[in-house]
Chains A and B, each alone.
Chain A
């Protein structure tokens, strides 16, 4: 059941990725060179729906959250290392396999590198855990919990802000 659900979810997502051009090297590098905002528009419209629906459904008890803990330094540092890799590879962990399936053979080397990266991380995890994960470890905090506002309300407001930003992008012709 678990594997079937994962497979079906991936199947649909892969189809969407390909149709919306999210598998293309040029689109990823286009975003990082601030010329083509396809990937950002895709991500933000996903979050517009997600933020609105997830927080509302959680408010009424239909779903639970699975918030990732905040490790201030590790989040930023890991993010930056990711960014360097993103600029070189031009795909992300979820889309590399899809890019390969679309015919981009460099995706194969990206996946090999990714698996090797995971191996090396597993061997260096204790170091990071001791030195870095403890810096700014705030636990599973969310923006609404920090601000002391209702998550459902914050989710709706955040969706509207992102919607406004997307409209701004379109108005500017970006």
Chain B
């Protein structure tokens, strides 16, 4: 595709970023931080619930993951969006749209349908990732890099669930 990087270059740099990040966090924070993203959603969920109810902090899951703005929240909700925005603007690729073109080909221009399905999809990826203990970064990149059994099992699950549903939803029959 025009004007972008090879996925191999991007992946290579991501691998370096993982290693440098582990080295740096271990040195400066005392504990290695491997790249991962889905717990950031739990922190934000906890912060929101904390505002709504004084009972929230008693949930065992929020005691396991304290509601706070931590390294991952800064990474997922501030760093990544800003980095992506810079890259998109710099290369003239910022383009506002609600419905991805492939979705539109299959399901048409109904904005509410796309918004609703994106919501459901977002719900399921975070719910599933929390049950599995991580997402493609935590279990995929960081887990498989450490040769962790949980990483391989979970990534297998991603595809066992994702491929059949995607084939049903998007495969074009002519």
Show the binding face of A for B, using Cβ within 8 Å.
Answer: 1-26, 29, 32-34, 38-39, 41-51, 53-55, 57, 62-72, 74-90, 92-107, 109-123, 125-126, 128-129, 132, 138, 140-144, 146, 151, 154-155, 158, 166
Contacts and interface: CB of A to CB of B under 8 A. Distances in A.
A129 B82 CA distance: 36
A128 B133 CA distance: 12
Interface in B89-132: 91, 93-103, 114-132
Majority-rule SS of A interface residues: helix
B11 A15 contact: no
Report the interface size class on chain B.
Answer: 35 or more
A97 B77 contact: yes
B62 to A, nearest CB: 6
Nearest to A40: B7
Interface of B: 1, 4-19, 21-26, 28-29, 31-35, 37-38, 40-42, 44-46, 48-49, 59-62, 69-88, 91, 93-103, 114-163, 165-167, 169-171
Given A7-B78, A15-B87, A110-B122, A45 B148 contact: no
A42 B23 contact: no
A101 B81 contact: yes
A45 B15 contact: yes
A33 B121 contact: no
Contacts of B144: 47, 50-51
A79 B125 contact: no
29 contacts: A2-B74, A5-B25, A7-B78, A7-B79, A9-B75, A26-B100, A32-B162, A32-B167, A45-B10, A46-B145, A63-B23, A68-B143, A76-B153, A78-B129, A79-B154, A79-B155, A81-B161, A85-B124, A85-B125, A88-B165, A89-B117, A94-B137, A102-B88, A106-B118, A116-B122, A118-B126, A121-B61, A122-B61, A128-B131
